[in-house]
Amino acid sequence: MQPPPLHPLAPTTRRGFLRQTGALAGTALLGAIELERAVHAAGAGTIKIGLIGCGGRGTAAALNALNAGPEVRLVALADLFADKARAALETIRNRKAAQVTAKPDDCHIGFEAYQQLLDSGVDAVLIAPASHFIPAHLQAAVEAGKHVFCEKPHGIDIPGVKICEAAAEEAARKQLSLVSGLCWRYDPGLREAMKRVQDGAIGEVLAAQSTYLSAPYFALERQPGWSELEFQFRNWYHFNWLSGDQTAQQLIHSLDKASWALGDRPPARVWGLGGRQTCLEPRFGDQFDHQAVVLEYADGARVYGHTRDQEDCHRETSDYVIGSKGRFSFDTGKYRLSITGAKNWTYAAPNPRPSMYDVEHQTLFDSIRRGRPINNGSYMCLSTKLAIAAQIAIYSGQAVAWEQVEQSARSFALDRYDWEVEPPVKPEPDGRYPAPRQGRAELEKWLIQREAADPQN
């Protein structure tokens, strides 16, 4: 049999890709949901999983899922590109051969591949494609009655997050488990620390400094024969319309931890700064390479978030939470968690230390086995909104009220998806991609659709 074509040309429309959602009835459930009925009953035998998005993160997520139990089986994969799906299948099979029944013919390729996978009889899906596609894939998975592990970010624009909010609510109604790829929520040490913070170990939380300073993601050079669209899809981390920038890819983890410490409530106002200084080559797309944001809360609390992706610079991932009676600090490089206050505390990590990536999948599959669904919808959507708010504020240079963020109608969704589509961003004559320029005009790109639709707003 001939392998699937590298570029299947079956188009899909915007309507088919990004369905309209109804009005939200409320906030999706957070944490364990104590329900008696499960879609996949405990003791039912094999749990068949499918992987949507076969890059490095998706491949690793599949291995984490297979670590969750010997009865978990990888039966199908889906990706835009045949070479990526087959490479992921080979990697996973080499590590977990006894738990992989998928064969090359079970690799679904193209823009409709996710739907073909959902129709293949899987019980649960791991969603880890280019972030642009996550809302539609999550919505389709829940509609199909599947349990879900969904990578972050849960949308790269507010309309996308609202699709995920509605999908999370529908998952709760259908008694489906939904676990977010905001992995620090599943780290045992950080869970213990946050419980102490929320129990008052440092008093009232006044401020948090969350830092994620790193180097650029691996960036691909353009290859002969690639169209502009293929180059951008293969290099999707570096294009805002596909990834949401590093605010959605990296800083979201920092903002999620800070939001956790503050009780997962929205800020009143967001402002920040950033720019593109060293990542100027075409392979780095149209993104900024350094960003800082301030979240201001109604009670006076503040979050200071910093991220940078530049070579030959200081690297650090850390969190400091300042309270009225003490301080919590987390050095992720040394994995040191400590509280200084009325009663000092340092986390004693077990050896070996559990992987948070394994824990999140163990939690998911245990919920499926026990018939007690869990749903991370509330915090995963709030933290995604925080990342989007950061991008709006940083890219516009404006202070943005939370109400403006919630009302943003800008969508990066395309009218249709096929290999003939022109991407929304193009290189300039020198081959570089234009980065957004701070100013009121950039803010209006996020808000003008709402203003045009409702002149009284």
Give the model confidence (pLDDT) of 395-431 as tens digits. 999 999 999 999 999 999 999 999 999 999 999 999 9
User: How open is the CA angle 62-87-93, to the nearest 5 degrees?
Assistant: 50
Q: What is the pLDDT of residues 306-328, one digit of tens each?
A: 999 999 999 999 999 999 999 99
For residue 68, pLDDT over 90 is answered with yes
Q: Which amino acid is at 428?
A: E
- Of 368, 359, 370, nearest to 64 by C-alpha is 359
Do residues 59 and 127 touch, judged by C-beta distance below 8 A?
no
Question: Regarding predicted confidence, which is higher, 200 or 29?
Answer: 200
Structure tokens at 236: 């999707």
pLDDT at 312: 94
Burial class (CB in 10 A: 0-12, 13-18, 19+), 14: middle
Mean pLDDT along residues 38-65: 84
Determine the Cα–Cα distance for residues 270 and 323; give it in Å rounded to an integer: 21
At 104, phi and psi to the nearest 5? Answer: -50, -35
| Residue 211: CA count within 13 A, CB half-sphere | 16
Q: Which amino acid is at 43?
A: G
Q: What's the length of the chain?
A: 457
pLDDT at 449: 52
Q: What is the pLDDT of residues 120-134, one digit of tens each?
A: 999 999 999 999 999
Please count the other Cβ atoms lying within 10 Å of the Cβ belonging to residue 410: 16
User: How open is the CA angle 368-57-372, to the nearest 5 degrees?
Assistant: 10
- Of 137, 37, 27, 32, nearest to 78 by C-alpha is 137
Q: Is the pTM of this model over 0.85?
A: yes
- Of 253, 58, 243, nearest to 157 by C-alpha is 243
Q: Which amino acid is at 63?
A: L
Structure tokens at 235: 């290099």
